[in-house]
Structure 1
Amino acid sequence: MIAKQWWLILFALTLLFSVFPQTTLAEEPNITSETAILIDGKTGQILYEKNSGQVMYPASITKIVTAILAIESGNLNDSVEVSSEARQVDGTRVYLAEGETVPLEKLVKGMMVNSGNDAAVAIAEHLSGSVDAFAEEMNAFVKDELNLQDTNFTNPHGLFNEEHVTTAKDMARITQYAMQNDEYRSIASLKEMEWSGEEWDTTLINHHRLLLDHDYVTGGKNGYVSKSGFTLVTSAEQDERELIAVTMKANSSNTAYQDTLKLLNYGFNAFTPVVYEEGKKIGTIGDTDYMLSKELTLLRNNDEEVELTITDDGVMESSIGSITSLLDSSLLSAKSLNDSSTPVADVETSVNKTSGEESTSNEWLNLAILVIGIGMFMVILLALILSKKSSHRRRSRSFP
């Protein structure tokens, strides 16, 4: 009888915790890396950041930029002749031979999978004529195309240079842009590839360990030089949600991986979607209304609401607590108030109402589940106590 009672108590406790609202258990992660950021891969909304604007040395995560530039500005079917400079570069290589001819696509894959610095130099020289000229192209890309002001590259591979710097926030934005390209996504997701060259025949295994160990990880790049510490960029997908995590200057590769897993678990478990319909007006500046050009899904955490605003420069921002995110300008359309066509309804209140209703509904649902769970636990516990008293009375009558 005693064993049976303990089993019932265990069942009651299991039942209580299974119905307890999971959202109350999701806490902001404790990140050890010096800087880190987690963003929504579809919108750029920032979900977590730690010193994400601090200028750092990127190491080999630099190769994300080299890869997307090669894909967008080069012809992957081109044949590339390897120079002596590429052959002699320091660090991790795919052991290209001087004078060897290699397809550009193969070089990009070797650079991303095996972090080949020689492949990166060969790509740079093929596209721009020299490493220095390619670095100028890299900087023009991040500043003109992505409007990033805290990044400066001096080479295509990430070997240390005092002026070769970026931030976790900038690297997240660069990765978000790159992941919109299907060819890049395909290459970034390669777990291994067969490599056959004049000096090396082998099977390359991707250096990004999480890509090998977790099916929901879709790509990324790791890096290390002594001045940068361990750097890591990771993209992941789950339940139609895409996240990008960046950690920089971890004291070990294991720390970088553990911090990244904490960020991804936090992003997938602690946030719920809030949908804003196409045509929703975000705000008015002068005689111009700004509205969503397409449906937008943002994420809210358990405690704070998402707020959408428009800046004086016509840039859309989302805020969760103290975190503000600049959102993609392609999500906005503008309409002059002098336009005589049918006006768009003022939906600033309905946007807030949308997230507010969802928040209120979720809070009431969580409260109801909690009350029911506690009630069931108390009923089972009371039944056990009454059963025990009844058994004691029966024993008292049988043995006076």
Structure 2
Amino acid sequence: MPFPRLHLDPEHEMFRDQVRRYLKDNMADKVAKWRDQAHVDREDFKAFGDNGWLCLWAEEEYGGPGIRDIRYDQVLQEETIRWTDIGFFHNAHSMLVGPYLDRFATPEQKKRFLPGAVSGDTIMAIAMTEPDTGSDLAAIRTRAEDKGDHYLLNGSKTYISNGIIGDLFVVAAKTGEKRGQIGLFVVTADMAGFSRGRHLKKMGLPVQDTAEIRFDDVKVPKDNLLGDPGMGFAYMAECLAVERTMSAISSLSHAQAAFDVTLDFIKERRAFGKPVGAFQNTRFVMADLRARLDATQAYLDQCVMLANEDKLTPEDAAAAKLICSELQGEVVDAGLQFHGGAGYMDEYEISHMFRDARIARIYAGTSEIMKEIIGRGIGLGERELT
């Protein structure tokens, strides 16, 4: 049995039961269709909105329940991965893009943008990564020129999650000549000059649509600027801790689900006259993974509590993201190995899980970047030592 999770209250478990029942009854059977078409249907985003599960933090005046407790988002993500697919990126909509509107939008901007995001009529995405920049966001080339009553936006972005079905994009663009002088702009898909490029084919996560997008002389109204036009880099850094916590939640939820899929399989699959799970090597590997999953869950749950109080440090968020994504990779790899040849077949869930998990050590900051952040936090940065 998994280790008890004492950070959750009875209200969170009641919410889990509600989410679980709905997903099992209404969405679990849709996953094959989502995988074939390479995106979640808009009606399913809308269903999450109808249930009140999008942007839980949004205040009532904007259509939301005003629940500022990340534990509910954690439970929602755990059940989504358990009963549908890790590629359903409602968490990116609510907890990656949403916080930029929550923290930096004016009340007038919130009145314009949040009701549709809460209802699921407006699907949100964030546009930061560019073809030649990767993790070096300070080096982006997309530019927003101040034209007096508007900004003129030109450039391109790639690897944009929700890029095909998205309606509203928070776009990072250079606003000056200094490195890292960046602004954040709200761009909607109906603006002249906005276009979508390729629907990118990926090794895994087929359910999560990923696209290239372009901006060709897009006139962005001044009142679509979030906060200060030169503070975008600082704003992104401010939101990264929660983003990486959500990424860690996804990774560990996926690892837990992969462990359970594998456990069921090795109890039933037989080799040399006995269940695969009866062999000592299988028992030892699974026992080790069970212990590490529980220990990692305890650390992650503590990070969630710190994030709730806005006390989570960048180093702790990086550590959570690092250990959860690395453990996810180990669990799905062991699970596929224990499935034997069956694990290589598309009809077995572990095959999808194996492919879907690989990106977790790359997006939201690579494992190497996470180690850099942690290393600098303990005084081992280049500047400190030279």
Pick the structure with more helix per residue: 2
Pick the structure with more strand per residue: 1
- Structure number with greater CO (CA < 8 Å, separation at least 6) is 1
TM-score (structure 2 length as normaliser): 0.27
TM-score (structure 1 length as normaliser): 0.27
Which of the two has higher C-alpha Rg? 1
